[in-house]
Structure 1
Amino acid sequence: MAFITAGALTACVSSAFAASAPIVGNWRTSSGETAKIAPCGNAYCTTIMTGQHKGKRIGQMSGSGASYTGRITDPSNGKTYEGSAQVSGNSMKLTGCALKIFCKSQTWTRK
């Protein structure tokens, strides 16, 4: 019985954690696809939900509040970059860097 209670408590805490994180939700990418960011373990995973790359998991970030860091993969070429995300209301600026000097940014909007 204690195991079930602990599991239920963990589920409630995870749900509250997900609901409070500004990064969680559906986002329109700069190329027009929909990306879903959801909790996965102790991080947040990004999966493309529409378009040519539908179903591909392209990123995993950790953080809280408005700042997140992690890795993101360009689904068109499969290259993975160190990245960061800054959430501001319904806008999120993603920056990915190769060798920490060659960086590109995109802005996604919340759907």
Structure 2
Amino acid sequence: MIRKILLVSAVALWAGSAIAAEPIEGNWKTEAGDTARIAPCPEGFCITLVNGKYANKQIGHMKGNGGLYNGQITDPKDDKTYEGSAAVSGGQLKLQGCVLKVFCKSQVWTRL
């Protein structure tokens, strides 16, 4: 498991340095089908749900550029916050939230 995480991290870092900066800003369709808006804020970029059951709830913030971002992600269902990362690649945003950098869950969102 740890080997897989290290490999994915290394590939993400390599890919991020090889491509032009891809902005995280904009509207994204979540795996649940809701729309999330990512916009500049004092913490870097804030993630806010636009519609659905948790509309207008801020669920995270990220800092970074070049397609790679780090910060915190909150699961709106249980209101728990996790260390997170995000990688933009074309029209997709891969989000990952982890506990102790070992137990991680990922989602892929699509740019609207």
Q: TM-score, normalised by structure 1?
A: 0.80
Structure 1 residue 57 corresponds to structure 2 residue 28: no
Q: Name the structure 2 match of 1:8.
A: none
Give the aligned partner of residue 39 of structure 1: 40
Aligned to 1:85: 86
- Partners of 2:102 and 2:42 lie apart in 1 by 30
Could you say which residue in structure 2 is the equivalent of 1:48?
A: 49
- The CA deviation string for residues 85-105 of structure 1, in whole angstroms up to 9 with x for no partner, is 000011010000011110000
Deviation at 1:22, TM superposition (A): 1.0
Runs (4+) of structure 1 exceeding 3 A deviation are: none
Query: Which one-letter code corresponds to 1:102 in the other structure?
Result: F
Structure 1 residue ranges without an equivalent (≥5): 1-19
In structure 1, what residue type is equivalent to 2:29? R
User: RMSD of aligned C-alpha atoms?
Assistant: 1.2
TM-score in terms of structure 2 length: 0.79
Structure 1 segment 57-76 matched on structure 2, within 5 A: 57-76=58-77
CA offset at residue 76 of structure 1? 0.5
Q: Quick one: distance in 2 between partners of 1:33 and 1:22?
A: 20
Bigger relative contact order, structure 1 or 2, given CA contacts below 8 A and separation 6+? 2
Shift, 1:21, TM fit: 5.8
Specify every segment of 5 or more residues in structure 2 that has no aligned partner in the other structure, as ranges. 1-20
Larger Rg: 1
AA of the residue aligned to 2:104:
C
The one-letter amino acid paired with 2:96 is T
Q: Does 1:102 align with 2:103?
A: yes
Instruction: Please say if residues 85 and 95 of structure 2, whose CA atoms lie closer than 8 Å, have aligned partners that are also in contact.
Output: yes
CA contact (8 A) 2:39 2:47 kept: yes
Identical counterparts, % of pairs: 57
